[in-house]
Structures are given as C-alpha cells and as structure tokens.
A and B are shown apart, each in its own frame.
Chain A
Amino acid sequence: MLADIGYAAIFIAFLAAVYAPFAAWHGVRTKQSRWVQSGRNAILIIFPLVGLACVMLVLSILNNDYSIQYVWSVSSREMPTYLKVTALWGGQQGSILFFNLLLAGFTAAAMARKWDDERAIMPYAIIVASLTLIFFLLMIVFLENPFARIGAVPVEGSGMAYLLNAPVTYVQNLFTRPQMVPADGNGLNPLLRHPGMIIHPPMLYLGYTGFSVPFVFAMAALIARRFNDSWTRTTRRWTLAAWLLLGLGLVLGGRWAYDVLGWGGYWAWDPVENSSLLPWLTGTAFLHSVMIQEKRGMFKGWNVSLIIITYLLVVLGTLNVRGGLVTSVHSFAQSNIGWWLLGFMAFMIFFSIYWVYERRDQLKSDNQISSYLSRESAFMLNNFLFLSIVAVTFIGTYFPVLSELVTGQRVTVAAPFYEKVNGPLFAVLLILMGIAPLTMWYRTSARRLGRMTLGPAVAATLTVVILFILDIRNWVALLGIWIVTFSAMLTILEIARAINARIRSKGESPFSALSALITRSRRRYGGYVIHLGVLIMALGIISIELYQQETQIRLNKGESVAIGDFDMTFRNVTRFPGPDDLMITEATVDLSRDGQFIRSLTPRTELYTRTGQPMTIPGVRSTITEDFYVIVVNFEGTTENAATFRIFLNPLINWVWAGAIVLIAGTLIAAWPDRAEQKIMAGSRAKPRRRYPVGAVTGD
C-alpha cells in the first residue's frame, strides 16, 4: 500500500515535470502569463510529491516490508533506526529517489522566490529546470523503481529496446505481488553502517543538485536575452551554498575514509572522489571569475561556460557513482543506467553549446583589460590554474576508460600521478591566493606589489631557514611551508592594514573595527577567511603527505613496538558480539611516550557474520600535533596471543579538519545576507506589484 502511494507520487511528479516546459513554452508563445504560472506550479508540486515518495519508502524500511526489493536489499530487522532512515540513500534506487528529492527541492526553492526583477527569464528557467527533472524522474519511474516488488520481472533488452520494454514491464510488475516475502532483509553494506552515512551523502547530493540552480538561471537568462541583468547576483548565494555543501561533502567523505577505511589516509584520488572534486573546482573558479563580470562586465562567455561545465561535471559525477563508468570503491551498485546518463549528458552538452552560440551577442565584453597586472588578470590566472587542475584530474580519471577502448587494457591511475602533476599547480595557486587580493581593478603597479610582498617574503624565508636549521631537509616541505607562510602573512597583513586604517580614522577598538569591516564587505573578508582555512589545510596536507610514518609488525601479547616518540604495547584481545549481526574482535594496546603511559587504544575488526564482510576500525589518539593511528591487520589462530598491527603517525592531520571548519566559517561570512544588499533588493521589491508583463516574457 505504502509502496503504491509512493510509486503513484513519483509517477505524477514525472507527468508534472513533462507538463511544465510545454505550459511555459505555450505561455511565452501566446503571451498568456497564466500558462507560465501553471508551468511554475507544476515544477513546485514535484518537490512535495517526491517528498511523499521518500516518506513512503522510509516507512516501508521502518516497517520491515521486505516485499519491496529495495527495502530487502538495504535493510534488515536488527539495523538501528537511524541506519534504516539513512538506508533511503544506501542503495541505487533509493539514492536516485533521494537525489530527485534534493533536485526538486532546490528547483522549487529557486522557482518560489519573488520574480519581480526577472519575470522575463522565468518561463525559460522553468523549461531548463524541467529538462533535468524529467530525466532524473524518468530514471526512478521507469528504470530504477525504488518501489519494485521482490520477484518483479526484470526489464529485457538494452538501449532503445530497454526503454520501450520498461513501461510494459513496470505495468506488469505493478499488478504482481510476491508469492513469498523474505523474513529478513539483506542489510546495508557494512561500509555504509557508520554515522557518517547520515551526513556525507546528503551533503554531496545537496552540493550536486545545488549547482543546477545557477545553471538554470544562467541558461534562462541567456535564452531570454537578459544575460546582462542581475542573474549573477541572484545566483551568487545559490552557487556559494552549493559550493559549500559540496566542499563539506568532500571533507566529510575524507573524514569518513580516515575513520573507517583503515589506511591512515583521507583522500585517494579515487575516480568518484575526483568526480566530486571536479565540479567543486570549476565552481571555485566560477565564484572568482563571476566577480569580474559583476564589477567590469567582462568574461561573460567564460562565466556561463564555467557554470555549464560545472553542471555537466555534476551529471558526469552522478554517472560515475551510479552508472559504473569508472570503477571505484564507491561503486556500491551499478546497472545499465550508465548509457542513459551518457545520452542525457550528450543532450545537455548540445543544448548548452547551441544556446551559447545562438546568443553569443549577449556574451560580448563591455570593457577591456587595461593592464596585464591587475585584479582582472589575477582572476584570469586563478581560473587558468583551476581549470588546469580540472583538466589533469579529468584526464587521470577517464584515462583508464580511454585506455581500455584503445588498447583493450585498463590501467590504474592513482595518487602518484595526481600528486606529481597537480602538486605544482596547487602550489602556484596558493602563491596567487596570497598576492591576488593585493592587486587592484584596472591596473596595479609592480612597485606597489613588490613593496607589499617584500615583508611576507622575508618572513617566510626566515621561517624556512629556521626550519632548515631545526633539521627539516625535505626541499618539497620547505618550499610548501614557504608558500603557506608567505600567503598567510599576506592575507593577515591585508586584514590588519584595513583594521589599522579604521582604528586611525574612526578611533574604533581593533575588535569593533574588524566586525565593522566584515559587515561592510562580507564577501571580501569572508573570502580572506576562506583563504586562511585553505592555507591551514594546506599545511596539514603537506605534513601528512611528506612526514607520515608507518610500520607494520607482528606482536605477541606483552611485546612493544616503537614509532616516532611513541611506544605501543600489545595487551589483550577480546571477542564479543556487537549490535546487528556484528562479531567484534578488539585488541587493547597501551600507548606511551618516554616511558610515560598516555592511554589505551582499542583497534578492532568487525565482522558482519551474515555477509562475511570484515571492517577494520582504527584506534586513534588524536592531538593538534599528530594522530597515532593503529589498525589490526590480522589476529592469529584461536588463541590470539599474537596480532599484526599497522601503525601510522600522521603529523598535523587535524589541521586539515580545522582548516575545513575555518573555510566553512568564511563561507558563512561571505554568504550571510548583506544589510546594504538587502535594502536594495527590498527597494526593488517595494515596487507596486503588477500583473505579469507579457511583453517582457517574449523579450519584445
């Protein structure tokens, strides 16, 4: 019953998505605003409908309704309630449903806003938004139905035949009820039974779907020939939100990997990680270059291309996770939806290129660059570097696919490749990050830049010299630390100069000067805080990449091993059943430094007895200077008097997470509603409400 309501809801949502663009188009053609409104209402209703479907699916999971294939495959009776709820996105069909929910949510929020300023682009926004919605709803309605019953007939054929057979099969399946309902479910993939499951996938999906909003607005503004209007300002906060959420998703994924994957690392340049990083990188480039468009009316074609690329990379990322194009530790479920996603992407590429070409007159630059040494060119260099990293990462991620096509042999492209090629690019980017804020629009004199960078350069050099004397001889580390110190000093000095100016001119206290600065130009100072967060992360990454120590050793009870300043003694092993179908084998080790006992750690292996899948959970002592991270490689025999341990000493790893928190704070500062901006928005809204101006719709 619940499943039937759920399926009916997504089916109606699909019909609404198909109806919306036709209604909007008809409204534009016949100049009838009520049709446009109707199209908008159709888009708005999709969100509650998909929401209803999600509630039905979650209820089915909570009710242990194993007659539904999806419920059976991702849950079991003993699973704790929070995991049952998160099982909504724990498998293929459910996660596409959840993806639809977030996509519909973002689209509805964007559509529900007041349209006074941008009435003219609304019908086009409806059309562009519905393209994405139609496709992803089509996925769950016809191809990956989360409400399919157990024993449902699989759809036959592939390609076109598959799509033609799909509706028939689904209608057939709608009326079949399983003969026998399993007593218990298969249970969620053990890798996903983690509190991180609550937050990491939703964040990533929010980031992914969030980027559809700026895409919709950019394309709509372009098609409506309103590209010079305020679309960038309208979408800025959306873009910032999507960017933050995607970034958060990436960091949380790193943290999750660090906590449960048991390899002492947080980022593996895995294809799926890369495909989430790619839109984040292009999004970062966009957030920078869009400022040139706002201030100088330049770079319009470039900005719209960046938004299109970001959107396409999101679709490609979805294809990677869900379609199985590249192999990855994230490929929890795969099916033949890959070709559909590929087809959709091809369509969107064609659609975007067509409109950019068709409306190229809209993208002409209003201004010219007056100097190669200016804020404009600094932003361009920034974009060039970001796009270079995107190109490298893209090539690395998809090269195995290309190689298989050309030579029939798949190759592995892993961390060493990315570190070698992206490392130098990131380094230059970090230097630019410090210098660019010093440049000014139009032109900057080299002398001024030289004067402002001299102090930090000297300070950074001194820092490196001191570190060299303190016996740090890795030149990559020294170079990295020089760059981080240099850029951090520049950023801090830039803030300090502004505070000083206020103290002198207004006689404020340093703290109120800072808060006044932040409230006056949130974007700038939010940006500086983000930069500082990135630098803190960079320092953490440099030290863990270059100074991670590790050892693996077999210890008998009572034996010790030394690593760094630490000694670890193997004390004991216990075995006990955990929640669910878990069997936990836990070692107790004592950690000490210079003979001083610090604390006990309990690394363990968790065996999911039903599926036989083992998990390795590390024991970690985490401090601001380093993490002592120990995992059990294996326990031996039945007596378990001996065990093999793998120990990592990760210096400054916490700086990576701390930097991420600073970055979030900075983004919140930048995205917080500006009082001045709000006043202006309010002013434009205070205009008397008119009926829908039909002429504006058609662009006449």
Chain B
Amino acid sequence: MKTRTKLKRGLLPSIFVAILLVALFVIAGVASAQESTGNVTDDEVNAIAKELYCPVCESTPLDVCATQACADWRDVIRTKLAEGQTEEEIKAYFELQYGARALAEPPRQGFTLAIWILPVLAVIVGGLVFARYIRGLRTAPVETGPNTIQTDFPDQNALKEKAETESDTYRERVERELREM
C-alpha cells in the first residue's frame, strides 16, 4: 500500500508537468508557425535553398527539387529563418546534419580544399608543359626529306599570308634601320 500512495503522489505531478509541457509546445509551435508564414517569404527561403543540395535528389538544387523530402527541407529553412538564424548558421546546420555534400560549393578546408587547388595546379602545370613544348618546337631542327611534305596541294592562302608576313617583316626592318640611322 505504501508503494501505491508513493506512486500516486509521484504520478500526479508528473502528469501535470507533462500536460503543461505539451501545452507549452503547442502554443510555441502555433506561435512559430504563425511567425514563419508571416515573416519569411518564399524568395528568402529559395535564396538559401539554391545553395543547398539534398542527399537524395542528386544534382538538383534544393530550391527546384519537387520531392516531398525537399519540401520538408525548405520548411526547415523557413523555420530557422523565422527563428532569426542567419544564412551561414542554416548552411552550417545542414552541413552538420548531412555532411559536406549538402553544400553547393565544397568547403574550402580539409580534403575538399583540393578541388579548389587542383584546377589551379592543373592550369599551371599545363602551362609549363605547353611552354616547354613550344620552346622545343622553336629550337627543333627543321628536318628535310620525305617528312616535310605537308600538303598535297599548295595552299593559296598560306602562300599569300607568307608573302604578306615577309613584306611585313621587311618593312619593319627598314623602319628599324631608318630609326637607327
């Protein structure tokens, strides 16, 4: 019997507290819902959703994804905006929840920093290789023999251009010599 009364005594306040809590949550929920539909525009939500990707619909940014899951995600953004969170905070939340793949731009730290460095490296290395190749071509000896047959028929344009180039360089030389006089 003792235990029962003890139980009763413990039960009643906890039920009371639970009801109170539920009520509070409902009120808070209604309030926040009102706030969210009241203040946050779709455009504000989309502006952030544009830069996020859900893990399911690959290659489709969150703002255009038509699935229900993505609609729910957009609602999360809406709620967080209504709570006064900034764009950075919301993005950080999605990154924490779903990993770096939720971000449109790979973060510039850790391993994913590589994607920002690799292209620059590739262009630099490519540039060096190209420069070397060109220098090699510049100094390569002109071979004579069967290999030098390039075209089956003379290209009039090339000939004309060559003549033009030659006259151009000739004129340049004359002008230079005139200056030096």
Interchain CB contact under 8 A, B158 and A295: yes
Task: Give chain B nearest CB distance to A225 CB in angstroms.
Answer: 12
Contact between chains at A440 and B165 (CB < 8 Å): yes
Q: Is the CB of A407 within 8 A of B111?
A: yes
User: What's the least CB distance linking A456 to chain B, in Å?
Assistant: 20
Give the interface segment out of B8-16, B28-36, B56-64, B81-89: B56-64
With an 8 A cutoff between CB atoms, is B112 at the interface?
yes
Is B119 an interface residue, CB under 8 A from the partner? yes
B157: A residues at CB distance < 8 A = 521, 524
Q: Report which of A412, A421, A521 forms a contact with B103, defined as CB distance below 8 A.
A: A412
Produce 1/0 per residue, B99-118, CB < 8 A to A: 11111111000111011001
Contact of A414 with B105 at beta-carbon distance under 8 Å, contacts A295-B158, A328-B59 already known: yes
**A364-B147 contact in complex given A372-B134, A441-B165, A553-B42, C-beta closer than 8 Å:** yes
Once the chains are docked, how many angstroms separate the CA of A553 from the CA of B102?
A: 25
Asked if B59 contacts A417 (CB within 8 A), the reply is: no
Does A406 make an interface contact (CB < 8 A)?
yes
CB of B60 within 8 A of CB of A329, answer yes
* Interface residue? B169 (CB, 8 A): yes
Using known A-B contacts A295-B158, A372-B134, A409-B99, determine if residue A366 contacts B126 with beta carbons closer than 8 Å: no
Chain B hits for A412, CB < 8 A: 53, 100-104, 106
Q: How many residues of B are counted as interface, with CB atoms below 8 angstroms from the partner's CB atoms? A: 61
Q: Which residue of chain A lies nearest to B115 when distances are taken between CB atoms in the complex?
A: A399
The answer to whether B122 and A445 touch across the interface, beta carbons within 8 angstroms, is no
Q: Tell me the residues in window 632-671 of chain A with beta carbons closer than 8 Å to chain B beta carbons.
A: 633, 644, 646
Q: Does A473 contact B (CB under 8 A)?
A: no
CA distance A425 to B100 in the complex (A): 27
- The secondary structure that dominates the A interface is mixed
Task: Give the distance in Å from the alpha carbon of A442 to the alpha carbon of B167 in the complex.
Answer: 12
Is there a chain A Cβ closer than 8 Å to B177's Cβ?
Answer: no
- A366 touching B43 in the complex, CB below 8 Å, given contacts A329-B59, A407-B111, A412-B101: no
Of the candidates B61, B123, B140, B153, which one forms a contact with A680 in the assembled complex, judged by CB atoms under 8 Å apart?
B153
Contacts of A352 in B (CB 8 A): none
CA distance A399 to B104 in the complex (A): 14
Contacts of A263 in B (CB 8 A): 61, 63-64
Pairwise interchain contact B140-A365, C-beta atoms closer than 8 A: yes
CB–CB B168/A448 < 8 A: yes
A291-305 to B contact mask, C-beta < 8 Å, 1/0: 001111110001000
A262 at the interface (CB under 8 A from B): yes
Residues from chain A with a CB closer than 8 A to the CB of B149 are 228
Residues B139 and A368 in contact, CB atoms below 8 Å apart = yes
Task: Find chain A residues with CB under 8 A from B158 CB.
Answer: 295, 441
Interfacial chain B residues near A448, Cβ < 8 Å: 168
Q: Are A443 and B169 in contact (CB under 8 A)?
A: yes
Within 8 Å by CB of B138, from A294, A369, A441, A444, lies A369
Given A384-B126, A406-B111, A448-B168, A414–B150 Cβ distance below 8 Å? Answer: no
Q: Is B164 an interface residue (CB 8 A)?
A: yes
- B residues with a Cβ closer than 8 A to A are 41-43, 45-46, 51, 53, 58-61, 63-64, 66, 99-106, 110-112, 114-115, 118-119, 122-123, 126-127, 130, 133-134, 137-143, 146-153, 155, 157-158, 161-162, 164-165, 168-169, 172
Q: A271-B59, A550-B46 are in contact. List 19 more A-B contacts (CB 8 A).
A: A263-B61, A270-B59, A297-B147, A298-B137, A328-B58, A364-B143, A367-B142, A369-B134, A396-B119, A403-B112, A414-B59, A417-B105, A440-B162, A440-B164, A441-B158, A442-B165, A550-B43, A552-B42, A553-B41
User: Which chain A residues have a beta carbon within 8 Å of chain B's beta carbons?
Assistant: 228, 230, 233, 261-263, 268, 270-271, 293-298, 302, 327-329, 331, 364-369, 372, 377, 380, 383-384, 387-388, 391-392, 395-396, 399-400, 403, 406-407, 409-417, 421, 425, 440-445, 447-448, 521, 524, 550-554, 614, 616, 633, 644, 646, 680
